[in-house]
Amino acid sequence: MTGFKLDERVRLCIELALTGHSGELSLLQRQDAEARRLGMIGAEIDASRQGSSFDFRISRAIALALVSGDEDRRARRAHAAKAGIGGAACVQIESFAAAFMNPASGKLESHDV
């Protein structure tokens, strides 16, 4: 398994996981519309909002994005590698999640997904 890319669908799945408990109606509606545009069905959207995916590699990417500590990060990177997600993609996932959660950094706005 090679060639994992942090594409639009993976980015949205990560965004859904990071904001899954948001009560912001406009955000949820925008995400739902974007997910449907990408061909996702309700169950896939719900799974992502709960921090998972039916796609094994996307599930590992989400887990890595949700990591909180360095020890957990190492373990989740190892799991991601076993799923075929390379080191460069892991860094992209972590950077995307960090920038998404801190849009004040100027690196990413939530609507740039």
pTM of the model: 0.85
Ordered by start, the domain boundaries in the chain are 8-108
Angle at the Cα of 78 (from 76 to 84), degrees rounded to 5?
Answer: 105
From 46, 96, 89, 88, select the one nearest 66 (Cα to Cα).
96
Condensed to tens digits (0 to 9), the pLDDT of residues 53-110 reads: 999 999 999 999 999 777 788 999 999 999 999 999 999 999 999 988 877 654 444 4
Torsions phi, psi of 10, nearest 5?
A: -65, -45
The secondary structure element, H or E, covering residue 108 is none
Burial of 41 (0-12, 13-18, 19+ CB in 10 A): exposed
